[in-house]
């Protein structure tokens, strides 16, 4: 079966950066399963997988604009420690916050200096060129429920939407 819109695709992948440092991998673990055409993965990788079949291996370099976007300096700001309802704050902690457009946004603490907490609303991989080594391990038709929900469901997936 060929990868196309409305197919559930399982892939093994290794993601590296320009320095060939492994950022993430599913090799030796459960494959990543996504619904093709539903924006479940970065656009550049999805385009590279379109038309492939089980057993195909793909190596693709995805530029920031086709991955997690360019780094936006305006998404970095300093807020007062009182904005957090925790005694201990440290770099790397992530929180959900309301973005200016009213949507929920994940922010990461990048620095804590006394009462000044620097937060970053960029995705951690924003601005980076991503290198994917991918093997297609399964392709199947999506169920009506998966199409309605916009993502695949596992065999023992107890879903509440």
Which structural domains are found in the chain, ordered by start?
7-68+125-149 (3.10.50.40), 73-120 (2.40.10.330)
pLDDT of residue 97: 85
- Closest by CA to 130, choosing from 86, 80, 65, 67, is 67
For residues 46-71, average pLDDT: 98
What would the pLDDT profile of 93-149 be if each residue is shown by its tens digit? 999 988 778 888 899 999 999 999 999 999 999 999 999 999 999 999 999 999 999
CA 140 to mean position of chain CA atoms: 22
CB 130 within 8 A of CB 46: no
pLDDT of residue 155: 61
| CA–CA distance, 137 with 31 (Å, rounded to integer) | 8
What would the pLDDT profile of 73-94 be if each residue is shown by its tens digit? 999 999 999 999 888 999 999 9
pLDDT of residue 17: 97
- Phi/psi at 19 (5° precision): -90, 10
What would the pLDDT profile of 24-57 be if each residue is shown by its tens digit? 999 999 999 999 999 999 999 999 999 999 999 9
CB 6 within 8 A of CB 145: no
3-state secondary structure of 73: helix
| CA–CA distance, 100 with 72 (Å, rounded to integer) | 15
> Of 59 and 85, which is predicted with more confidence?
59
What would the pLDDT profile of 13-25 be if each residue is shown by its tens digit? 999 999 999 999 9
- Closest by CA to 151, choosing from 26, 11, 8, 2, is 8
- Phi/psi at 136 (5° precision): -80, 120
């Amino acid at each position: 079966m060929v990868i196309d819109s409305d197919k559930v695709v399982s892939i093994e992948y290794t993601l590296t950066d320009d320095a060939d440092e492994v950022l993430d991998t599913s090799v030796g673990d459960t494959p990543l399963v996504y619904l093709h055409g539903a924006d479940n993965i970065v656009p550049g990788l999805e385009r590279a997988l379109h038309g492939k079949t089980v057993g195909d291996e793909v190596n693709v370099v995805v530029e920031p604009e086709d991955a997690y976007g360019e780094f936006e300096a305006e998404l970095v700001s300093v807020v007062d420690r009182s904005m957090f309802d925790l005694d201990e704050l440290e770099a790397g902690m992530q929180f959900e916050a309301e973005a200016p457009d009213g949507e929920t946004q994940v922010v990461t603490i990048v620095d804590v200096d006394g009462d000044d907490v620097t937060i970053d609303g960029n995705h951690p991989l924003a601005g980076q060129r991503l290198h994917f080594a991918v093997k297609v391990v399964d392709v199947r038709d999506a169920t009506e429920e998966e199409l309605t929900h916009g993502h695949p469901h596992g065999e023992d997936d107890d879903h509440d939407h």
